[in-house]
Amino acid sequence: MTAAGPTLALPPLAVRLGEWVAGMASRPLSPGLARKASDHLLDTLGAMVAGQDEPPARAARAVFRRPGPVPLAGVGGLWHNHATLDPLDAAFVNAVAAHCLEIDDTEGCDHSGAVVVPVLLSLLSSMETPAGEVPDDGAGPGGRLLPALVAGYEVGRRVQLALGGYDRHNARGWHSTATCGVFAAAAAASVMLGLDGGQSASALGIAASSSAGGWAFSADGSMTKQFHPGQAARAGLEAALLAQAGANGPWQVFEPVWGGFFATHGGSPGGPHDAGGSDGGGPDGAGGSDEVEPGLLVEGLGSIWHFGNSAIKPYASCRSAHTAIDAFLGILAAEALDPADVRAVRVHVSGFLQPMICPPAPSDAAQARMSLPVSLALLMEGKELMPEDFRHFEGPGVLEQLARIEVVRDPESGREPLVEVFTDSGTFASRVDHARGGSRHPLSPAEVEEKFRRLTAGHLGTAQQAEWIAFARELIQP
């Protein structure tokens, strides 16, 4: 019998992930990653400025108002609102504002930009010297901004994937922007603060205790959806600051221990997505599966970039409705139809998506942005699905169009909705698997800049818009 050599135990997952996070401060980004990071930074800044005066953001400002060095909806000499707050409070308020209009980016933790960018802006402002210069420690805080953004997006997405992916985790009732976003915020803050591997691992461990937030808002359109990015941003930033101050977090948090993250957040699906369905209960017939894959937290770190899947929205509506919107618009384009030619629309929606994107009749514009039928009705009225368009959700024309839209719960429809358009000249059907703005059909940098200008029109002057665009673009390394 040959004696086996010693088995070397791998460090805990949080330590391995923390070491990678720590290395991002000095890791140069590829031109493609840097350009994409700049796009997402600019896109989130636009959403943040546009959402500052919405009711959830006003409520957040009324509560989180400690004075400090961080401008609201801005950084350094660039801002929309001249009020300045404590970094933690600013992170909360700016994150809420970024998510208010449902136009912020997606397919990360889910809404990674609304979580990560406010954390970066809080630290960039609070780490500046009185003279307005960043400390000279190599890259400096400004030089770390894009690597920190990429690290945050990457970690948030990896946590979501390790939980079974968006559908499985959300079918359990969790809102992944909150539950996974707190890790994205902690990772981004760790890079900006220059934490070492052990400190970064502690930040992730501390952040795990704040991972919470459910989909109950979908039943009545309450504001908790908009507060979730703020909750994640503030808690993740706080976790990193605690780790910097010497606090230790549980390095075993991702291991199969009692109270570990995956043991508590990876339970069986349940709730409205399962009620009365014949499609196995959860997404793709997942039913009561408890499958999680913790190894995805570290698989291919540095070579597989899940950040590349993050999407920039062309429409101010729930991202899960975008493939149906694209299918409807595609039919109009392919058949040379005008919206007035449409007599009726039927949408086949899975049991997973129905409660998410076909909620009860909306009571306000925020709830209307979550409604696929409202989006289709607005398109039939010739709207472009920008944030302001959803303020007309109760207009007579929109209500008339809504009466022509039928939603069918169809277990055979697949993950993405099937759209049927009825006209006098015939019936046309389409299903789109990959929505515009995602990795398969990305918006160009010019389109991202035009979206920024459109979102900030009325808030920023032309010269200010140019300065903000220059700020995002000058961060890209040549």
Work out whether strand 405-409 and strand 342-349 pair parallel, antiparallel, or are unpaired.
parallel
- Residues 6 or more apart whose CB falls under 8 angstroms from that of 461 comprise none
What angle do the packed helices 13-23 and 197-208 form, to 10 degrees? 120
The CATH number given to 319-430 is: 3.30.1330.120
CB 319 within 8 A of CB 371: no
* Mean pLDDT of each 10-residue bin along the chain, 478 residues long: 58 98 94 97 96 96 94 71 88 97 97 98 77 45 90 98 93 95 98 98 98 92 96 98 98 95 74 32 36 95 96 97 98 97 96 89 93 98 97 97 95 83 97 96 98 95 94 86
CB 199 within 8 A of CB 19: no
**pLDDT reported for residue 135:** 41
Q: Which structure tokens are listed for 32?
A: 């493609």
Give the Cβ contact number of residue 365 at 10 Å. 23
For residues 176 and 164, give the distance between their C-alpha atoms in angstroms, rounded to a whole number.
Answer: 11
**pLDDT reported for residue 73:** 80
Structural domain spans, the chain: 13-314+441-473, 319-430
Of 82, 129, 366, residue with least CA distance to 224: 366
Q: Which structure tokens are listed for 212?
A: 């919470």
For residues 184 and 182, give the distance between their C-alpha atoms in angstroms, rounded to a whole number.
Answer: 5
Q: Which structure tokens are listed for 96?
A: 């809420």
- Answer positive or negative: Cα dihedral of 13, 16, 18, 21: negative
Number of H helices, E strands in the chain: 19, 6
For residues 84 and 122, give the distance between their C-alpha atoms in angstroms, rounded to a whole number.
Answer: 10
**pLDDT reported for residue 76:** 58
Give the Cβ contact number of residue 68 at 10 Å. 16
Question: Residue 176: what are its φ and ψ, rounded to 5°?
Answer: -65, -20
- Amino acid code (one letter) for 176: S
Give the Cβ contact number of residue 151 at 10 Å. 30
For residues 191 and 236, give the distance between their C-alpha atoms in angstroms, rounded to a whole number.
Answer: 12
Of 363, 206, 235, residue with least CA distance to 227: 235
**pLDDT reported for residue 270:** 41
- Residues 6 or more apart whose CB falls under 8 angstroms from that of 65 comprise 85, 89
Q: Which structure tokens are listed for 218?
A: 């979908």
- Residues 6 or more apart whose CB falls under 8 angstroms from that of 300 comprise none
Name residue 430's beta-bridge partners. Answer: 419
Q: Which structure tokens are listed for 343?
A: 């007599």
How many CA within 13 A on the CB side of residue 426? 7
Question: Residue 214: what are its φ and ψ, rounded to 5°?
Answer: -120, 175
- The SS3 call for residue 390 is helix
- Amino acid code (one letter) for 249: G
Q: Where are the beta strands (DSSP E) in 307-416?
A: 342-349, 405-409
Class of domain 13-314+441-473: mainly alpha
Work out whether strand 418-423 and strand 426-430 pair parallel, antiparallel, or are unpaired.
antiparallel
